[in-house]
Amino acid sequence: MKKQTRLILLGIFLLAAILRIPLTSVGPLLPRLNQTTGLSMTTLSQLTSISLLVFAFTSIIVARIATKIGLNLSIVVSIILMLIGIFIRSFTNNFGLFLGTIILAVGICFGNVLLPALTKRYFPQHVGKITSGYTITMNFMGAVGSSLAIPILEKVNNLPLIALATVGIIIIPILFLWLLIYFSSPSQQSASTNSKIAAPAPTNLYRSKTALSLATFMGIQSLIFYTCVAWLPNIIDQKGYSPATGGFMLGLLQLMILPASFLVPMLAEKMHSQSIFIIIAGSTFIVGITLLLSSNYIILLLASILIGLATGASFSLCLMLFTLRTKQNETAASLSGMSQTIGYTLAALGPTIFGLIATHTNSIGWALLFLIILGFLMIILGFQAGRPGTID
């Protein structure tokens, strides 16, 4: 493997490593932020929703920007925006907390959308392995961010904004690495056509059944996952268990994302059709959510495990299909952007819809039925995306 290729591979994995930490480290710090900023917990909880909405509105334009300025430069811009957002979020006032979060989310969005395009450009023969690697890195580091938030808070005199700023220490060297990749790339220095994503393909993604199928599949899996993240502790609490038990089961759910994220892309890449994996992922969601109707501790543990496995399988499958169902880098980026726009829009709405159903019916059961129905729709509408072939 050439030195430049090794640098890019390292860059991909390190980029993936910083796409979750700035957000997952916020949740555990909310109570302390409530005390130091004077903002209510309800207001602070909107930080996550704002990030998801930024992802939804920004994802669709990322590919166009990358087409204009180049793929590698887009990654550099992404990391710079993340650093600017972290600085504003941590060292200004309450308004800056939200403004910085928006800028940070824009930077993260670039990385989310362009990772499949990077994989397709530089490692087209190893899509499954690279996708497995960066997906598990992304999710693992997200879990690290949640786990270390409080210990870091204690090290910085219980100042939550300073604790959030420490993420920048990790990001700065990764920026230098991507600057090295950008300036050492022959295609960048020569300003050849290879320095940019290929010109937009004539394919209209919104007229492609496969593209719409994949976008819908990603949208539903995002909605189910983020709804479970928001509501699982509450569901466990309503069954008479302690908040610590709810937190443990949520942590278990997130932990189980890792093995599925690692295995599914490598297995799916070897198959002629990936539709069977869509059926398996959707079915696992359905079984896991159904088990949440029980109050038995062991069954609830199993439910958390299954939902985590389904999340890891479906999310990593989406990222891999962005590359398998396209021929051009630009199409892969555009498909990724369109799918993530739909996905994060639904993800932002999911917890609210779930809550409205639970409140209106005075029953978590009816709200869980809503997710079970979505699981079936995920299989039916997503089946097309697993069929072999490309959209461009």
So what's the pLDDT on residue 95? 94
Mean pLDDT of 203-216: 84
> Of 300, 284, 275, 139, which Cα lies nearest the Cα of 221?
284
User: What is d(CA 156, CA 128) in angstroms, rounded to the nearest whole number?
Assistant: 40
Q: What is the pLDDT of residues 226-267, one digit of tens each?
A: 888 878 888 888 898 887 788 788 888 888 998 998 898 888
pLDDT band at 285 (very low <50, low <70, confident <90, very high): very high
Calculate the average pLDDT of the chain.
87
Residue 193 above 70 pLDDT?
Answer: no
- Sign of the dihedral through C-alpha 372, 136, 142, 124: negative
For 169-197, give the DSSP string. Answer: HHHHHHHHHHHHHHHH-HHHHHT-GGGSP
**DSSP-based helix, strand, coil % in the chain, nearest 5:** 85, 0, 15
Residue 384 above 90 pLDDT?
Answer: no
So what's the pLDDT on residue 189? 46
User: Dihedral (C-alpha) 291, 293, 295, 301: value to the nearest 10 degrees?
Assistant: 30
Residue 208 above 70 pLDDT?
Answer: yes
So what's the pLDDT on residue 131? 87
Out of 25-34, 35-44, 194-203, 349-358, pick the least confident: 194-203
So what's the pLDDT on residue 104? 97
Q: Which residue has better confidence, 18 or 381?
A: 18
Mean pLDDT of 78-91: 96
State the amino acid at position 163 in one-letter form. Answer: A
